[in-house]
Structure formats: structure tokens, C-alpha cells
Structure 1
């Protein structure tokens, strides 16, 4: 049977490096101009080990588009998550070939 969900479980956690990210739903909250906006039930990734929640990047791009150009909170969060992914990839040890 094929997996019909739009999420692929099993990515390594970008926060702790030990846990596995699983599909999860979370709320997005932030200031939009002078209004505090809460968007519930957005797709996200949650680490089963440390509990870190990473927003789904494509969904956060859509939220930023809907909120308009002043949605700096969403854009900053996207940049932070992307930066964390790059840093986590740089910290991971290279896979050995098995030959010694």
C-alpha cells in the first residue's frame, strides 16, 4: 500500500541531530502589522526525541504570501530554518566507505 500523505517521515532532526522528524500539525503565530495573527493546524515536522517543531517550508511560504509583504515574522522563521538545515548538514559526519 502506498503512503498517500504529502509528508515523508524519517528526516533527521535539524535541532538535536538524534531524533527523527515526523509529520505533525502546529499553529503559526506572529505579528502582522498591528494585528497578532494565529493560523492553527499548519503542517509541520516534530522531533520524536527533543520535541523541536520545524514548520513545513512550502506551507510557510504560502502563509507569507497570504499575509502579504509585511509578514517579516514568517520570512525570518523560514530563513532561520533553512540556515539550521545547512548547519546541521555541515555538522553531520561523512559516511565511511567501509574500507580501512
Structure 2
């Protein structure tokens, strides 16, 4: 069993010119947001979860329901590799998430 910790979500480019209202789900459970984000902004996520195998991290924009902005798969075998950066690039958006797997 491992634990994933989500640290910082950074917005490099929003999906809309007026900014995004985003949230993060880990395996279909909301763990962060809804927060407003614009180009160049970073937000501390501060979430950890024990898991086995893998977890899926999804980023959504809430403007018209829940528009997906991308997803990453975090695997247990990433444990011990230090902090990593996952990239979300859908719907013209570009976000990165710093995370780490331990255990």
C-alpha cells in the first residue's frame, strides 16, 4: 500500500478567457475546489490518500456542468521517486499538479 499526496495545482492556461472554476476528483471523490483560477496562478491542494495499485486524478471546470480538463493516473510503483508533475491538457487548458507517492 502507498499514499499519494497532492501538493500544488498550477494554471498555465485557462480553458476560457474569463478564467476557470476548477475542482479535482480522485477516483470519483471530490478532494479539492471549487476554486477560481487564472493564468499564472497556483493553489495548494493539501490532500493525501492511501491506495493500492493506482488512482485516477481528474481536473474539471464547472462552467457548464463538469467539463473535463484532463486526468492523470498515479501508480503505486511511483513510490520513492520524489515529487512528480502531472499535466492536464484538454479543452484548450493547461494545468500541472505536483504530487508524490510514498510507501
State the TM-score, normalizing by the size of structure 2: 0.29
Structure scoring higher RCO (CA < 8 A, sep ≥ 6) equals: 2
The structure carrying a bigger helix percent of its residues is 1
Larger radius of gyration: 1
